[in-house]
């Protein structure tokens, strides 16, 4: 790819495109919130692997109209617990970047609450049950 969009300039001093992809923006939001939550709950979380996938893989016999926003698979033995957020279903429920950040926070807090056996409000005081 060539052209002025890739050359250094006042809006993109390193020469990279100044516009971030939706995937990169989503990953930034998740990473920021995960860092905050991990810092607060590090001693209780243990070995947890956080991931983002585009969409969930639903079985052919999926009978409900809802699509999961996340998946929590508890680890065993040497395998870590795996918490996966599904980007597209979360994005489709969010109109603005603020909505998206709030939705990601809500999903993360609910999943961590389930993992730690604590109410979501205790996991993060910003939790809003009406965000779903």
Asked whether 69 and 84 are in contact (CB, 8 A), the reply is: no
**Strand bridging mode 48-53 / 81-86:** parallel
Share in percent of the chain as helix, strand, coil (round to 5): 45, 10, 40
Query: Which among 82, 99, 80 has a CA at the least distance from the CA of 91?
Result: 99
* Predicted local confidence at residue 89, as pLDDT: 95
pLDDT, average across residues 16-39? 86
pTM of the model: 0.81
Total Cβ atoms within 10 A of residue 102: 17
Asked whether 80 and 91 are in contact (CB, 8 A), the reply is: no
Domains of the chain: 18-56+66-131 (3.30.2010.20)
9: pLDDT strictly greater than 80: no
Q: Which of 3-17, 91-105, 116-130 has the lowest mean pLDDT?
A: 3-17
User: What percent of the chain clears pLDDT 70, i.e. is strictly above it?
Assistant: 83
Model confidence band, residue 66 (pLDDT cutoffs 50, 70, 90): confident
């Amino acid at each position: 790819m060539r052209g002025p969009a890739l050359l250094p300039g006042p809006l993109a001093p390193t020469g990279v495109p100044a516009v971030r992809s939706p995937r990169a923006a989503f990953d930034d939001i998740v990473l920021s919130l995960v860092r905050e939550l991990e810092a607060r709950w590090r001693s209780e979380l243990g070995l947890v692997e956080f991931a983002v996938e585009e969409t969930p893989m639903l079985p052919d016999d999926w009978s409900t109209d809802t699509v999961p926003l996340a998946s929590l698979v508890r680890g065993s033995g040497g395998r870590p617990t795996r918490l996966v957020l599904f980007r597209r279903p979360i994005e489709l429920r969010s109109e603005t970047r603020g909505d998206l950040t709030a939705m990601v926070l809500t999903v993360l807090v609910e999943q961590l609450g389930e993992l730690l056996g604590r109410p979501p409000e205790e996991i993060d005081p910003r939790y809003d049950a009406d965000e779903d």
